[in-house]
Chain A
């Protein structure tokens, strides 16, 4: 089943924070996060493999709540370069990833 992402779209001013959620109706083995800028290929952000695992890269971090079957991506002190569509992908160890419909993030000055 396709994971559900929320919100569908969000507009931020530079420096503001945002949270993007990804929920699945199935037990999760892994959650992938990717960002796609307009007209470009998706670019990897991070993978979370364990329940409760948190990862971070600069001012972007994510958590994985295995029990709740959801993951959240946190963007703090957003920059213009954060604009794009964020996709989460979920899957088990032996099934292909299923990606959500994406969350469109626009950061304005």
Chain B
């Protein structure tokens, strides 16, 4: 067992460009979460995937943000037309199943810097 992996670890982009962030959850984990953490701040929920159910997108801050998940594996978070305010660490987590009764395992994060 490998843990949750994320790539890239760091991404520097120019304002207005699109970026894709990738998350590989722990094998067998049906639930996958994306969070945003601004410098010195808490964890801000973005989106949640649970099995084949429709994702909970209630935390996405704008329509520039979207995410996909292929089955119960890899997920990609896409930010279009990036803005400086999007600069943050984007964390992915997975758990054996959803419902908040299982611990979440976090990946190392992707540090996004928008110039």
Contacts and interface: CB of A to CB of B under 8 A. Distances in A.
Query: Chain B's interface: helix, strand, loop or mixed, by majority?
Result: loop
A96 B42 contact: no
**Would you call the interface of chain A mostly helix, strand, loop, or mixed?**
loop
B25 interface: no
Nearest to A104: B40
A29 B100 contact: yes
B91 A93 contact: no
A32 B44 CA distance: 15
A43 B43 CA distance: 13
For chain A, the bracket of interface size reads: 20 to 34
B45 interface: yes
Contact of A32 (B45, B99, B104): B104
Interface of B: 33, 35, 41-45, 48, 56, 58-59, 91, 99-109
